[in-house]
Amino acid sequence: MTLRPRPWLDALEPYVPGQTAPLLEGSMASNESPLPVSRALLEAIQGAARTIQRYPDPLADEVRQELARLHGVSPDQILIGNGSDELIYLLGWAYLAGGGSVVCADPAYRMNTVIGTIVNARITQVPLRDWHHDLAAMARIEADIAFVVNPHNPTGTLHSRESLVRFIESSRAKLIVVDEAYIDFCDDPEGTTAISLTGSGRVAVLRTFSKAHGMAGLRIGYLLASPEIIRTLRTIRPPFSVGTLAQAAAVASLRDRTHFTEMRDYVCANRTALSELLAAHGFSVVPSQSNFVLAEVPAADRLIEHLRLSGVAVRPGASLGVPGTVRVSVPSHAGLELIAAALTTWAAQIPATADPA
């Protein structure tokens, strides 16, 4: 007898991560923070390292206390996960497995379709409109879970809280999961977040320390939802999925708001510079409220190869469901200089036919 994976898993390909560049500043493929790790964070991790012979706090109480204060919710509305990706899996196992259904955008954030496929749920993908989620069309789809990524990845586009509220009121989905991985980079995070809508049990919000907190390598994220949803997910989660070092770093980062705000402002300023640079080369840039920019480019494959040879790694849009584009993570000042130089040599070598008007 040979054991075969469940047949529906044949639809899945292994994850292909973004490329890295030889220099850290040139790595613009994975939406990581372009800034060095702060001293406060390093010290917190070093301090916590002295206790790693013990299991971590399973529910990360200190992190939850800080987050409860920050967001004005009760700690029993918060669940910590090994990155928000783990929390997406938990939601799928609890609410989609064994005949559930999911609606999300096309292109979607990959984990949303991956979990649907893993648990063999029915997946409906609704094409973007004008680079935004088509919320009106998504609302008409009956589903257990609707995933809305706000701002969206890979486009960087944002829906206002008013349009989200309208969606929630009209949606035929039982639970709306709003993934706010990039919300700190938008113009008005407080006025846009769906956190205040999570009490009822109809809405859940995903957040992560991977992006604005610059901690992608530590793997920690969180879910804000009703106490009932949190209780359910607690019963199925692996109890120690978030390590001691990640918890200590998260607490330190939450207590260092000044540094957090500086990092965010730095990224937002460089986003403007990056968008202007790409536009100056004739590329059509999708206005971004995130820490990356999506640009429509001619000869995408050749451009990506040219950038690679110039020490700049970007994400091919083709690998994210948007062929003919590149997704460029907002870099440091040094990174901006690298990509500016690379685009200058690109402009000098492309034939006139590929030259955009």
Ligand X SMILES: *Cc1c(COP(=O)(O)O)cnc(C)c1O
Length of the chain: 357
Residue among 31 and 113 whose Cβ is closer to ligand X: 31
Residue among 107 and 346 whose Cβ is closer to ligand X: 107
Q: How many CB atoms lie within 10 A of CB 320?
A: 20
Q: Please, what sign has the CA dihedral across residues 276, 323, 308, 110?
A: positive
**CA 14 – CA 303 distance, rounded (Å):** 25
**CA 176 – CA 171 distance, rounded (Å):** 9
Least distance from C-beta 91 to ligand X, angstroms? 12
DSSP annotation of 125 reads E
Which residue sits closest to ligand X, CB atoms considered? 83
Beta bridge partners of 284: 296
Residue among 148 and 342 whose Cβ is closer to ligand X: 148
Residue among 203 and 342 whose Cβ is closer to ligand X: 203
Residue among 193 and 210 whose Cβ is closer to ligand X: 210
Least distance from C-beta 310 to ligand X, angstroms? 25
Least distance from C-beta 221 to ligand X, angstroms? 4
* Residue ranges in contact with ligand X by CB under 6 A: 31, 83-85, 109, 149, 153, 179, 181, 208, 210-211, 216, 221
Least distance from C-beta 270 to ligand X, angstroms? 18
Least distance from C-beta 110 to ligand X, angstroms? 8
Place of tokens 């109890």: 239
Least distance from C-beta 151 to ligand X, angstroms? 9
Q: Is 81 left (phi over 0), alpha (psi -120 to 50) or beta?
A: beta
Residue among 193 and 343 whose Cβ is closer to ligand X: 193
Cα–Cα distances in angstroms (integers) from residue 140 to residues 112, 151, 204, 311, in the given order: 19, 21, 19, 45
